[in-house]
Amino acid sequence: MTITTTDLIALRRDLHRHPELGLDLPRTQAAVVAALSDLDLEIRTGTSLSSVTAVLRGTDAGSGDGPRRSVLLRGDMDALPMEELLDTDHRSTVEGRMHACGHDLHTAMLVGAAHALHARRADLPGDVIFMFQPGEEGHDGAAHMIEEGVLDAAGSRPDAAWALHVFAARLPAGVVASRSGPLLAAANELYVTVHGRGGHGSAPERALDPVPVAAAMVTGLQTLMSRIVSPFDPTVLTVGEFHAGTAPNIIPGSARFAATLRCFDDDVLDVLERETVRYCNGIATAHGLTADVVFQRNYPVTVNDDDAIATARRVVADTLSGADDATGSRWLDLPTPVTGAEDFSRILQAVPGAMLFLGACVDGADPSTAPDNHSPLAHFDDAVMGDGVAVLTALALATLSGSPASAAN
């Protein structure tokens, strides 16, 4: 069976209409298995999560010199817990759930790459691991799949790993962007509960009010960040939750807040953990209160291999055409990292490779102002999936033929 772009668009839109969250994606898993069923693949589903690992064995024996090569291609599959506000014919049919980060496109593109590479299996001097991953959105699905053996699914560790992530904004449709070194930040969370003594709002002197103390922490942490880390080491701290009280005239017994912290260096991360915890405890003590402070490390920094990026740059130039700029290339070298985070970082900690971004801004929209990923109005142009399939396929072929050079390390 030959899969067409029309088929992939239909698959993507079906997934978009039926988004699933977290690690448990039974309908999505079944759709992927069905889309691969006509191919000669070794398919294994997860036990602790609804993952799909499919291995394509190339039948070209090659020269027989050295170990057999393999490559991993990853596509994440989970949606986000948010209501879709965009009115399309494939709008989410599940209340409070939406594919707002483009994982439905990633899944369909990886299915397309599996079909394209399967058609060329007689020319493949190695094996391809297709990693269909649940739980990227805060559930660390990559760690679960690593624990269940995805990196050894072909019999040995891959020589390189690749992932392609679409952007609803920022990039023009069809442009591929990435960079060597740090690409995405380490994502961490700070949870603080300030314990005081409740009372009546008319008599604060008879209580120990936790609200102004927690508020002092929230504002003071911003100053702290600028004093404990070099300005040449990018960091971000954003407080996304603050909870206290039940009525305007009641001093609550506690107040709590939660923040996300982002950085691009493990040494900086150590400083952030030590100093934010120390600061919050100190502020509480200074006011005669106590605090429970928890610093939780989540996804590590996503670091692209230098040689992998050189390979990707060449592959995109050779594979995609029709650029509007003077260079004739659809590749863009990003000047700085992005402060988002990804659990594909765990794959890149184990094997060399890279994550690339693919512009999927809809026709007629301005990438600089279009709703971005994670917006309830995020809109992705599924016409770019053909480009994504072509790039993933070419990256796999390049790896199996011997690039990137550092993959042999």
Q: Is 328 left (phi over 0), alpha (psi -120 to 50) or beta?
A: left
Q: Are residues 50 and 180 located together in one domain of the fold?
A: yes
Task: Give the pLDDT band of residue 67 (cuts 50, 70, 90).
Answer: confident
pLDDT confidence of residue 407: 42
In contact, 396 and 319? CB cutoff 8 Å: no
Sign of the four-CA dihedral 51, 57, 62, 63? positive
Closest-CA residue to 235 (of 284, 268, 203, 273): 268
What is the reported pLDDT for 68?
A: 87
Final residue of a domain: which of 277, 297, 317? 297
Do 74 and 156 reside in the same domain of the chain?
yes
Question: Above 90 in pLDDT, residue 130?
Answer: yes
Considering the domain architecture, whether residues 171 and 317 belong to the same structural domain is answered as yes
Q: Work out the pLDDT band at 408, boundaries 50, 70, 90.
A: very low
**Cα–Cα dist 146/129, whole Å:** 13
Is the Cβ–Cβ distance between 79 and 99 less than 8 Å?
A: yes
Residue 328 confidence class, pLDDT cut points 50, 70, 90: low
**Domain termination site, one of 243, 269, 297:** 297
- Looking at the structure, do residues 31 and 126 belong to the same domain, yes or no? yes
Strand partners, 361: 380
- Determine whether 127 is exposed, middle or buried from the number of CB atoms within 10 Å of its CB (0-12, 13-18, 19+): buried
**Number of neighbours of residue 270 by Cβ within 10 angstroms:** 11
- Give me the pLDDT at residue 321, please: 79
- What is the average per-residue pLDDT within 338-363? 97
Return the pLDDT at 241. Answer: 97
Q: 66's torsion region: left (phi>0), alpha (psi -120 to 50) or beta? A: left
179, 191: one domain: no
Neighbours of 44 (CB within 10 A): 15
Q: Which amino acid is at 213?
A: V
Same domain, 144 and 244: no
Helix (H, G, I), strand (E, B) or coil at 139: coil
Q: Which helix or strand (DSSP H or E) is residue 145 part of? A: helix 141-147
Q: Quote the pTM value.
A: 0.91
Residue 266 and residue 194 share a domain: yes
* Parent domain of 128: 5-185+301-408
Domain shared by 309 and 259, yes or no: no
Cα separation, 100 vs 80, whole angstroms? 6
Count H helices, E strands: the chain?
Answer: 9, 16
Give pLDDT tens digits for 241-273: 999 999 999 999 999 999 999 999 999 999 999
In the chain, the number of structural domains is 2
Cα atoms found within 13 Å of the Cα of residue 275, Cβ hemisphere only: 18
pLDDT above 50: residue 405:
no
User: Helix, strand, or coil here: 189?
Assistant: strand
- For residues 68 and 153, membership in a common domain is answered with yes
* CATH code for the domain in which residue 167 is found: 3.40.630.10
**Domain endpoint, select from 258, 280, 297:** 297
Within this chain, do residues 197 and 262 fall inside the same structural domain, yes or no? Answer: yes
Q: Where residue 217 sits, what CATH number does that domain have?
A: 3.30.70.360
Give 96's contacts (C-beta < 8 A, 6+ positions apart): 81, 82, 83
Residues 267 and 388 in one domain: no
Q: Find, among 60, 87, 76, the residue nearest to 19 by Cα.
A: 76
Q: Which stretch of 146-160, 212-226, 335-349, 392-406 has the lowest confidence by average pLDDT?
A: 392-406
3-class DSSP assignment, residue 215: helix
User: Residues 344-361: what's their mean pLDDT?
Assistant: 98
Specify whether 130 is located in the same domain as 230. Answer: no
- Separation CA 60–CA 123 (nearest Å): 5
